[in-house]
Amino acid sequence: MRAPDGTAGTPTLRRVVTLWPLIFYGLSDIIGAGIYVAIGAVIARAGDAAPFAFLLAGAAAGLTGLCYAALASRFPEAAGAASYVKRVFNSDILAQFVGGVMALSVAITTAAIASGAVQYLATLVHAPAAALISAIVLCFTAIAVAGVRESVGLAVILGLIEIGGLIVAIGAGFLAAPGLDFAAMLPLGAAGWNGMIAGAFIAFFAFLGFETMANLAEEVKDARRVLPRAILGAIGISIILYALVAIAVTVADRAGDNPLLDLFEGRNAAIFAAASALAIANGVLVGIVMLARLFYGMAHNGQLPAALAAVSARTRTPIAATVLAGGFILAVALVFPFEHLLVWTNALTLAVFTIVDLALWRLQRRTGVAREGFAIPRFVAPLAAAASLALLAAEFLG
């Protein structure tokens, strides 16, 4: 039986996370390979309309973010999306399906982040990519085992480096720009719109991470109030930063494989590469923590082996679940190339987001809009589901 304060009985997760550390924890996962690495793929698809591709992707992410905020306020549980589906549809099979898809999605996302970090690290350290990826994943798995306070604290520090790197890149882009022709960024004609939408599908990867915040629900103080604010705060900040970065890179006419790094030369490029590799790798730590909590929450609900719900009395972390998460992520990162990881991460996550959006829609149709906690209008959930499905359709049918 759980002890409410964790001081007696079965060890429980420790509630130590507050609002601003949670916001920066979310930002440290959202801001990573999606902008530092994938921006080149967005520009390749959207061209000068890349800023609008990021805004479109941010709007789609924001709609589902509202749904996550509403559900997290009602059901602050570590299993996140799997728990919401179980609560609303009362189906263990659907909950296990969502949990399994989410686990695969998180593993692929985190593996993509590890591969993205190596793209920067390889410019500084001459070693096989597999060795660098293994070192990153194993190091952060050990930190995740040590404790949630340590994990969140390090994630916040590295998150600040991520944000600082983007601010420097924004400044460098505008300084290198021969002029500011914002009209050239407008997606004109069918080709312009098609490119923008195709770019938005890849840009959506840059916003993934806000859903991982919901999995810390059982380690957040006053989770019903804090979680919704943190989720929406992290999404809002990331939208602003991404739009500015995309504008800066576009006006500076950088459209190579790594347009952010192309903004710098010589020693400055080396410094930016080092900071970027460290910042991107931070998403690996957040991914491991999130996946471990997903395994823990599902095991606690009887949807995975009970051993994964065991919490260490010393570190108050689910060690078995964390080690499994790290091993799963490492295996995926070593098998699949970065470009394939991007597409499948988005497809799987959009599928889960659609189910979560529909879960909130059904809940509101059944019980009405919540009068306590975080409440959103009824039209948001179906609109969020439609936006997620539209991005999927545009990629695979267009």
Mean pLDDT of the chain: 86
Query: Is 123 inside any structural domain?
Result: yes
Average pLDDT over residues 320-331: 94
- Is residue 59 pLDDT above 90, yes or no? yes
CA dihedral 299, 302, 303, 309 (to 10 degrees): 0
- Is residue 8 pLDDT above 60, yes or no? no
Say what the pTM is. Answer: 0.80
Predicted local confidence at residue 3, as pLDDT: 42
Average pLDDT over residues 92-116: 84
- Is residue 10 pLDDT above 80, yes or no? no
Predicted local confidence at residue 5, as pLDDT: 43
How far is 342 from 387, CA to CA, in rounded Å? Answer: 19
Average pLDDT over residues 21-37: 81
- Is residue 357 pLDDT above 80, yes or no? yes
Predicted local confidence at residue 245, as pLDDT: 92
pLDDT digits (tens, 9 = 90+) for 363-377: 999 988 776 778 899
Which residues form the domain of 214?
19-369+378-396
Backbone angles phi, psi at 17, to 5 degrees: -90, 130
The CATH number of whichever domain residue 240 belongs to comes to 1.20.1740.10
Predicted local confidence at residue 398, as pLDDT: 60
How far is 54 from 197, CA to CA, in rounded Å? Answer: 10
Query: Is 5 inside any structural domain?
Result: no
Structure confidence at residue 227 as a pLDDT band (50, 70, 90): very high
Query: Is 172 inside any structural domain?
Result: yes
Query: Is 143 inside any structural domain?
Result: yes
Predicted local confidence at residue 7, as pLDDT: 45
How far is 261 from 36, CA to CA, in rounded Å? Answer: 9
Query: Is 13 inside any structural domain?
Result: no
What is residue 86's three-state secondary structure? helix
CA atoms within 13 Å, Cβ hemisphere of 193: 5
CA atoms within 13 Å, Cβ hemisphere of 9: 8
The region of weakest confidence among 66-70, 142-146, 153-157 is 153-157
* CA nearest neighbour of 198 among 382, 56, 351, 387: 56
* 108/388: higher pLDDT: 388
Predicted local confidence at residue 215, as pLDDT: 83
How far is 294 from 226, CA to CA, in rounded Å? Answer: 20
Query: Is 11 inside any structural domain?
Result: no
pLDDT digits (tens, 9 = 90+) for 182-219: 666 777 677 788 889 888 988 888 888 888 788 888 88
Query: Is 45 inside any structural domain?
Result: yes
* 107/307: higher pLDDT: 307
Number of domains in the chain: 1
Average pLDDT over residues 259-287: 85
Cα 229 to Cα 100, 105, 232: the distances in Å are 27, 24, 5
Query: Is 12 inside any structural domain?
Result: no
Predicted local confidence at residue 33, as pLDDT: 66
Average pLDDT over residues 89-102: 89
